[in-house]
Amino acid sequence: ALLRNERVVEIGFAGFALAAAVLALLPVVWAVVPALLLAGACWVLALSLFNRTVQLSTPRWVLGRALAFYQMAAFGGLAAGAWAWGAIADEAGIAGAFGLSAAVLVAGALAGWVFRVSDFGEVDLTPLGLVTAAEPQIDLRARSGPIFVLVDYEIAQEDVPEFLALMQERRRIRLRDGARRWALLRDLERPEVWSEKYYVPTWVDYARHLARRTKADDAVHKAIRALHRGAEPPKVRRKIERQTVPRHDDAPPLAPADLA
């Protein structure tokens, strides 16, 4: 690409700021018409880029929800902004409102140095498509659960800082993909043994959790595996919770008089 996405957004903000400044300082037809054309072009440029960025920077399985949030934020912002700038124009006048909006747009362009818009293809969100859940040896239904998962690693002491940094990213990935109550445990008797623990509500949720792994996530997975010092691959244990229910009620039956 000739321009990075962030540069395109900054150009859109700067162009719109210039147009707003012209509307504030030169309210004459020969200046207003080109300024409005510039503002419209910059507005469409930025909005279309945001829309495309959301679509190409979101995993396929959550794209619908991401677009819904984006549309809500974008058009909700338009409605709220129309009211807010109208109120400002009532107090400061139209020229004052345009001048203030130009300053806000310049600040928005400068904010891109901190909050950068990602480029297309920067993160590979292609589904990995190779991960399948192990075949259970007990009778499970799609809604059976909750399913608890423990993954054991053997990590040398000198690799612990790197391991912890990777597991922080692993936690984000797990929670994003549907895991709950993620935790990292260290064995008290064998300090080189670390266990990753989380659970998902049902067996089908576990299958979906695995299917959501992307190629970008797999890079983190491989980096963690590279730190594992065991002779065998990290041991994965999958367990289902079973509630202990007594066969008989422990409480003595109430006499009829007690029920009165």
Check residues 130 and 71 and name the one with the higher pLDDT: 71
Kindly indicate the confidence band of residue 260, based on its pLDDT and cuts at 50, 70 and 90.
very low
Provide the angle, in degrees to the nearest 10, between the axes of the packed helices 29-56 and 5-25: 160
- Secondary structure of residue 108 in the 3-state scheme: helix
Distance CA 9, CA 43 (A): 10
**76's tokens:** 């909700």
pLDDT digit string (tens) for 169-205? 999 999 988 899 999 999 999 999 999 999 999 988 9
- What are the boundaries of each domain within the chain? 5-111, 147-240
At residue 256, does pLDDT exceed 80?
no
Q: How many CB atoms lie within 10 A of CB 18?
A: 17
The reported pLDDT for the residue numbered 87 is 92
The two most distant CA atoms of the chain are separated, in Å, by: 96
Angle at which helices 215-227 and 160-176 cross, to 10°: 150
149 bridge partner residues: 198, 238
Rounded to whole angstroms, the Cα distance separating 136 from 132 reads 12
The pTM for the full model equals 0.68
CB 203 within 8 A of CB 144: yes
Element (H, E) at 154: strand 147-154
259: phi then psi, degrees, rounded to nearest 5? -85, -10
Angle at CA of residue 97, ends 92 and 103, nearest 5°: 125
Task: Collect all residues with Cβ–Cβ distance below 8 Å to 36 and sequence separation of at least 6.
Answer: 19, 23
130 — pLDDT class (breaks 50, 70, 90): low
- Closest Cα partner for 192 from 153, 226, 163? 153
Please check whether residue 142 is in contact with residue 204, taking contact to mean a CB–CB distance below 8 angstroms.
yes
CATH fold label, 147-240: Alpha-Beta Plaits (3.30.70)
